[in-house]
Amino acid sequence: MRIISGIQPTNVPTLGNYIGAMKNFVKIQNEFEDVDLLVFVADLHSITVERDRAELKKNIKTLAALYLAIGLDPAKCHLFIQSEVPEHTELSYVLECNAYIGEMERMIQFKEKSAKEGASVRTGLLTYPILMAADILLYDADKVPVGEDQKQHLEITKVIAERFNNKYGDTFTIPEPYILKSGARIMSLQDPLKKMSKSDPNQKGYITLLDNIDEAKNKIRRAVTDSIGVVKYDQENQPAVTNLINIYSNLTGESIESIEKKYEGLGYKEFKEDLANIVGDELTKIQTKYNEIIKSDILNKVLDEGRDYAHYLAVKKIRKVHKRVGLGRE
């Protein structure tokens, strides 16, 4: 079975990216037998909005090093940078010619993001789901780990793949979503109704994996809470505390019930202090490894191997696609 996923290097990943995606990559790597896992840095996806060149370069390297630091093992998976395998964009174009503008305009993320950008919205934002389809179909991925917000994009991937297969003959594996059991959606520490996001202008709302430990702990201590004062998992009436319980449970593996019981009769202060320490310890572990990786020369070796493997698979697929469509001489 082949599984593929990636994260955009739009900033240092947050606790949300870690809990909602990265930790699960490690789980897949360690718990699935016979899995061919490919994890990439989705740098092409990140340029749908203006980016500072130096920042982007730095974030690409940081994300790749963090993949290793959180426990992805190059002996068990392949790590690569999307733009270093040009077949992603090549396939994306062919798929664009088999997708309709109306389909893209209906994508919720496009509607939301383009509403924010107004007249300066770029074409890449509209075609983003097609590039995502190419990321998946290029490798005949059987499963794609997706959060709630990416479900619609995976659906359109299936639609395009089926349309292509019907028109040109069996070419692509139809991917299925891999729904994550512990895929909690982590919310902003300042607004529990807004997803924690690495490009949130309010830095108090998110914790990145490379935040200074004391600052990260303070962000937890200062996270907004509700006025009820009871540590209870209640999405409707206590969304802020519920979000913190989610973080606690995901980082420790402790069940919600057990956490609620532990803090019965205690206020938010003690709960938050413990959570601050849990987050601090997790970040310390990751940052210790990250610093070792950054100092060593392992990263380039890993990314070269990953690129070569991905490229080997991608070239085979692109040749098949060209043949099916009737491109070129062969």
Catalytic residue status for 198: yes
User: For residue 75, how many other CB atoms are within 10 A of its CB?
Assistant: 6
Establish whether 143 is a catalytic residue.
no
Nearer to ligand AQP, 178 or 290 (CB): 178
Closest listed residue to residue 171, CA positions, set 6, 3, 5, 316: 316
At closest approach, how far in Å is the CB of 113 from ligand AQP? 9
Sheet containing strand 143-146, edge to edge, reads 77-81, 36-41, 2-7, 143-146, 176-179
By the 8 A CB rule, do 282 and 210 touch?
A: no
- Beta-carbon contacts of residue 212 (< 8 Å; ≥ 6 apart): none
113 catalytic, yes or no?
A: yes
Q: Which of 61, 76, 113, 232 is catalytic?
A: 113
What is the Cα Rg of the chain in Å? 21
**Cβ proximity to ligand AQP, 5 vs 225, nearer residue:** 5
Residue number, 148 or 308, with CB nearest to ligand AQP: 148
**Looking only at residues 130 through 169 of this chain, which bind ligand AQP when binding is defined by CB under 6 A?**
147, 149-150
As a 3-state breakdown, the chain gives helix, strand, coil percent values, each rounded to 5, of 60, 10, 30
Comparing CB distances to ligand AQP, the nearer of 2 and 195 is 195
Could you give the string, one character per residue 170-209, with x where binding to ligand AQP holds by CB under 6 A and - elsewhere? ---------------xx--------xxxxx----------
Least Å distance, CB 192 to ligand AQP, is 11
User: How many of the chain's residues bind ligand AQP (CB under 6 A)?
Assistant: 20
Long-range own/partner contacts, residues 315-324 (CB < 8 A, 24 or more apart): 315/87, 317/87, 317/91, 317/137, 317/138, 317/139, 317/140, 318/87, 318/90, 318/91, 318/138, 320/171, 321/91, 321/94, 321/171, 324/168, 324/169, 324/171
- Report 38-77 residues binding ligand AQP (CB under 6 A): 42
Spell out, one character per residue from 1 to 20, where the chain touches ligand AQP: x when CB under 6 A holds, - when not: ------xx-x---x-xx-xx
For residues 21 and 70, which CB has a smaller minimum distance to ligand AQP in the complex? 21
Q: Which residues bind ligand AQP (CB under 6 A)?
A: 7-8, 10, 14, 16-17, 19-21, 42, 147, 149-150, 185-186, 195-199
Residues with catalytic roles = 113, 195, 198
